[in-house]
């Protein structure tokens, strides 16, 4: 729209380091395609596996469901090109040290700004809300068997009560192995045990927090928070590729109406926040509820829920919106699963008392 836009990038290269698995739905990919103006490719995932340690495994057929593993570096590059081709200026290796009303301070000095977009990631998310420690290894598999198009999720409550571990095979032969939780030592041990079993040589380790607390609001005083800085990630999984870009688009539209004089600064903040909550508030609430239940479940609880979901066919429909899935779980399984959990806790307490 002709406004002057300056982007300060903390790292020395856009798109590096890669901090996620890059798994996305074909519908989600449309968001990037619309922004980039061209096709954003990736490898289709054909099959998956969910393992609950000590209980069992479930195979999931992903054929035809449009689940794609993309190269995040190429995705970041297309977003960069879209911004640069429209006149945005960039400064790399430039950390924003202070954000204030009307200005941003960095190593180069103070930059005045009518509006500021805070996209500093999890580091800018409120500390009192939920952040999980996360790490991901990228390793090269040199064995004869390669499982391209395969994703594996490992639930191990002894490693992490809040999250899970993952293993994703790429087209190039790389394997992404990671996990998240509240204990760095447990996560490191759990992830390294998976790497040892598949015999791959790691050449990159990335450590970065995962936001699971939910949308923390639009910001204030001309500072608009987007992406992980705003908690624009799925509370159940921490996934934020699509939501991060969507929140940026919502903020950009609100900011443009402020800069044009159509809205006041306070009104543009409210527009951004209301737009976000209308689009994702219901889904976010369902995911928060599911997360609260999941964190209180033990391995037997998770396995029982997984078996029922698999038998119903719900696991073969990952495209289902999470508000629908949350309602289905609560209505169909909630009373039974939560009742079993409560009964087991009572039995455990009685056993401890008798002992």
Q: What's residue 351's pLDDT?
A: 60
CA–CA gap between residue 346 and residue 163 (Å, rounded): 25
Paired tokens of 309: 């979901």
Quote the CA–CA distance of 313 and 206 in Å, as a whole number.
Answer: 35
Checking DSSP bridges between strand 89-91 and strand 67-69, what pairing results, if any? Answer: unpaired
Q: What pLDDT does residue 19 have?
A: 75
Residues belonging to the chain:
355
pLDDT of residue 337: 56
Q: pLDDT at position 72, please?
A: 78
Residue segments in the chain with a per-residue pLDDT below the cut of 70: 38-39, 41, 64-65, 143-148, 171, 314-355
Identify whether the C-beta of residue 77 lies closer than 8 Å to the C-beta of residue 15: yes
| b/e sequence 210-222, b meaning 16+ C-beta within 10 Å | bbbbbbbebbeeb
Rounded (5°) CA angle 188-15-79: 140
Task: Measure the CA angle with vertex 119, ends 40 and 282; round to 5°.
Answer: 75
pTM, two decimal places: 0.84
Phi-psi region of 169 (alpha: psi -120 to 50; beta: other; left: phi over 0): beta
- Which helix (H) or strand (E) is 116 found in, with range? strand 116-118
Task: Give Cα separations from 269 to 123, 185, 224, 240, 309 (angstroms).
Answer: 21, 40, 7, 21, 40
Of 176, 246, 239, 184, the C-alpha closest to 212 is 239
- How distant, in Å, are the alpha carbons of 134, 301, 349 from that of 298? 21, 5, 15
In a 3-state reduction of DSSP, which class is residue 225? strand
> Closest Cα to residue 178, out of 159, 70, 293, 131?
159
Please give the pLDDT value at position 15. 80
Sheet of 23-25, strands arranged across: 23-25, 67-69, 43-44
Contacts of 77 (CB under 8 A, 6+ apart): 14, 15
Cα(211)–Cα(231) distance, integer angstroms: 6
**Greatest extent of the chain over all pairs of C-alpha atoms, in Å:** 74
Give the pLDDT confidence score for residue 315 in this predicted structure.
Answer: 65
Q: What is d(CA 119, CA 304) in angstroms, rounded to the nearest whole number?
A: 40
> For 11, which DSSP code?
S
């Amino acid at each position: 729209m002709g406004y002057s836009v300056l982007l300060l990038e903390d790292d020395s290269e856009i798109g590096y380091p890669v901090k996620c698995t890059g798994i996305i739905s074909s519908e989600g990919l449309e968001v990037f395609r619309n922004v980039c103006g061209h096709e954003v490719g990736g490898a289709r995932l054909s099959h998956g596996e969910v393992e609950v340690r000590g209980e069992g495994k479930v195979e999931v057929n992903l054929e035809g469901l449009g689940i794609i593993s993309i190269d995040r570096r190429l995705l970041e590059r297309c977003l960069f090109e879209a911004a640069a081709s429209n006149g945005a200026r960039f400064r790399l290796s430039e950390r924003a040290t202070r954000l204030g009303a009307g200005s941003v301070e960095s190593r180069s000095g103070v930059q005045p700004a009518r509006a500021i977009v805070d996209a500093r990631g999890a580091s800018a998310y409120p500390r009192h809300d939920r952040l999980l420690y996360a790490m991901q290894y990228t390793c090269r598999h040199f064995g004869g068997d390669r499982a391209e198009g395969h994703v594996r999720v490992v639930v191990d409550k002894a490693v992490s009560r809040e999250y899970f571990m993952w293993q994703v095979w790429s087209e190039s032969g790389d394997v992404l192995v990671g996990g998240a939780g509240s204990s760095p030592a447990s996560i490191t041990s759990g992830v390294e045990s998976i790497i040892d079993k598949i015999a791959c040589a790691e050449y990159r380790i990335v450590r970065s927090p995962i936001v699971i607390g939910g949308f923390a609001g639009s910001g204030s005083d001309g500072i608009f928070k987007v992406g992980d800085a705003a908690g624009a990630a799925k509370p159940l999984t921490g996934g934020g590729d699509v939501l991060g870009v969507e929140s940026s688009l919502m903020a950009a539209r609100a900011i443009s109406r402020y800069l044009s004089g159509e809205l006041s600064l306070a009104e543009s903040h409210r527009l951004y926040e209301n737009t976000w909550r209308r689009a994702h508030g219901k889904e976010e609430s369902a995911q928060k509820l599911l997360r609260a239940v999941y964190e209180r479940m033990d391995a037997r609880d998770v396995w029982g829920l997984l078996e029922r979901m698999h038998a119903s066919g719900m696991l073969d429909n990952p495209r289902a919106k999470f508000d629908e899935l949350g309602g289905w779980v609560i209505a169909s399984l909630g009373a039974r699963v939560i009742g079993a959990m409560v009964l087991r806790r009572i039995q455990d307490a009685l056993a401890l008392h008798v002992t």
